[in-house]
Structure 1
Amino acid sequence: MVWAMSKSETILLVDDQPENISIMIEALHSLYTLLAATDGATALERVAGDPRPDLVLLDVMMPGMSGHEVCREIKGDPVTRDIPVIFVTSLDAPDDEARGLRIGASDYITKPISPPVVQARVRAHLDLKRAREQLQSQNTALEERVRERTAEVVQAQKERVESLKHFADAMAHQIRNPVMSIGGIAGLLLRKTPEDSPLATYAEAVREDSLRLESLVGVISEYVSLSAEPFREVQINGLVESALNKARGFADSSGQDLAVESGLQPALVKVDERIMVTAMAEIIINAMEFAGEERASLTIRGGVGMFGDELAEAGLSGSAGRRYGVRISDAGPGIDREVLPYVTDPFYTTKAQGAGMGLTKVKRVICDEHGGTLLIESPAASSENLSRPGTSVTFDLPLA
Structure 2
Amino acid sequence: MAPREKILIVDDLPENIDVMVEVLQSTYDLMVATDGPTALERARGVTPPDLILLDVMMPGMDGYEVCRRLKADPGTRDIPIIFVTALDDPEKEAKGLELGAVDYTTKPISPPVVAARVRAHLQLIQARQVLLQQNDILEQRVNRRTAQVVQAQADRVQGLHNFANAMAHQIRNPIMTLGGMSRLLLKKVSPNSPLCDYAQAVRENSLRLEHLVGVISEYVSLTVGERQIVAVGTLVDNAVNVARDIADVLGKRLDCSVMVADGELEVDAELAVVAITEVLRNAIEFCEDEAVTVKIVGGLGVCANSMTASEQFYAPESRYGLRITDAGPGISEEHLTFVTDPFFTTKASGVGLGLTRVKRLMHEEFGGELCVESPPNMGASITLHFVLYSTSD
1:132, CA displacement in angstroms?
A: 0.4
Matched, 1:327 2:319: no
Matched, 1:170 2:173: no
Cα distance in structure 2, aligned partners of 1:175 and 1:282: 27
1:157, CA displacement in angstroms?
A: 1.8
Cα distance in structure 2, aligned partners of 1:319 and 1:178: 50
User: 1:256-292: per-residue Cα shift (whole Å, max 9, x none)?
Assistant: 2222233344555332233222222112211222333
Cα distance in structure 1, aligned partners of 2:355 and 2:216: 13
Change in CA separation of 1:126 and 1:354 when aligned onto 2, cut-off 3 Å: same
Q: Specify the alignment match of 2:368 in structure 1.
A: 373
Change in CA separation of 1:234 and 1:121 when aligned onto 2, cut-off 3 Å: same
Cα distance in structure 1, aligned partners of 2:306 and 2:59: 58
**Runs of 5+ consecutive residues of structure 2 not aligned to the other structure:** none
Change in CA separation of 1:174 and 1:98 when aligned onto 2, cut-off 3 Å: same
Matched, 1:38 2:28: no
User: 1:17-46: per-residue Cα shift (whole Å, max 9, x none)?
Assistant: 222112111111222222222333433333
CA contact (8 A) 1:7 1:33 kept: no
Shifted more, 8-17 versus 203-212: the winner is 203-212
Q: Specify the alignment match of 2:102 in structure 1.
A: 106
1:323, CA displacement in angstroms?
A: 5.4
1:250, CA displacement in angstroms?
A: 0.8
CA contact (8 A) 2:259 2:297 kept: yes
Cα distance in structure 2, aligned partners of 1:323 and 1:317: 11
Q: Identity of counterpart residues, as a percentage?
A: 51
Instruction: Give the SS at the match of 1:342.
Output: coil
Residue in structure 2 matching 1:81, options 74, 77, 82: 77
Cα distance in structure 1, aligned partners of 2:66 and 2:379: 66
Q: Specify the alignment match of 2:344 in structure 1.
A: 348
Q: Specify the alignment match of 1:140 in structure 2.
A: 136
**Runs of 5+ consecutive residues of structure 1 not aligned to the other structure:** 1-5
1:135, CA displacement in angstroms?
A: 0.8
Residue in structure 1 matching 2:24, options 23, 28, 36: 28
1:396, CA displacement in angstroms?
A: 0.6
Cα distance in structure 1, aligned partners of 2:227 and 2:314: 16
Cα distance in structure 1, aligned partners of 2:14 and 2:247: 89
TM-score, normalised to structure 1's length?
A: 0.85
Shifted more, 83-92 versus 160-169: the winner is 83-92
CA contact (8 A) 1:182 1:210 kept: yes
Shifted more, 41-50 versus 273-282: the winner is 41-50
Instruction: Give the SS at the match of 1:339.
Output: helix
Instruction: Give the SS at the match of 1:246.
Output: helix
Cα distance in structure 1, aligned partners of 2:323 and 2:210: 31
Instruction: Give the SS at the match of 1:86.
Output: strand
Cα distance in structure 2, aligned partners of 1:202 and 1:337: 39
Q: Specify the alignment match of 1:357 in structure 2.
A: 353
Cα distance in structure 1, aligned partners of 2:236 and 2:76: 49
Q: Specify the alignment match of 1:3 in structure 2.
A: none
Cα distance in structure 1, aligned partners of 2:379 and 2:160: 40
Change in CA separation of 1:46 and 1:389 when aligned onto 2, cut-off 3 Å: farther
Instruction: Give the SS at the match of 1:49.
Output: coil
User: 1:335-385: per-residue Cα shift (whole Å, max 9, x none)?
Assistant: 333333322221122222211111111122222122x211324251xxx3x
CA contact (8 A) 1:7 1:31 kept: no
Q: Specify the alignment match of 1:48 in structure 2.
A: 44
Q: Specify the alignment match of 1:153 in structure 2.
A: 149
Q: Specify the alignment match of 1:261 in structure 2.
A: 257
TM-score, normalised to structure 2's length?
A: 0.86
CA contact (8 A) 1:300 1:326 kept: no
Cα distance in structure 1, aligned partners of 2:75 and 2:262: 39
Cα distance in structure 1, aligned partners of 2:320 and 2:258: 14
Residue in structure 1 matching 2:311, options 293, 313, 316: 316
1:92, CA displacement in angstroms?
A: 3.7
Aligned pairs (5 A) from 1:189-268:
189=185, 199-266=195-262, 268=264
User: 1:63-98: per-residue Cα shift (whole Å, max 9, x none)?
Assistant: 444433433443444443332222222334555544
Shifted more, 262-271 versus 361-370: the winner is 262-271
1:198, CA displacement in angstroms?
A: 5.5
Instruction: Give the SS at the match of 1:330.
Output: strand
Q: Give the counterpart letter for 2:167 in structure 1.
A: M
RMSD: 3.1
Change in CA separation of 1:157 and 1:342 when aligned onto 2, cut-off 3 Å: same
Instruction: Give the SS at the match of 2:370.
Output: strand
User: 1:191-240: per-residue Cα shift (whole Å, max 9, x none)?
Assistant: 55566765555444444432332221111111123112232344443333
Residue in structure 2 matching 1:337, options 333, 337, 342: 333
Instruction: Give the SS at the match of 2:53.
Output: strand
Q: Give the counterpart letter for 2:384 in structure 1.
A: T
Q: Specify the alignment match of 1:396 in structure 2.
A: 386
Cα distance in structure 2, aligned partners of 1:313 and 1:99: 48
Cα distance in structure 1, aligned partners of 2:45 and 2:369: 54
Shifted more, 306-315 versus 248-257: the winner is 306-315
Instruction: Give the SS at the match of 1:11.
Output: strand
CA contact (8 A) 2:303 2:383 kept: no
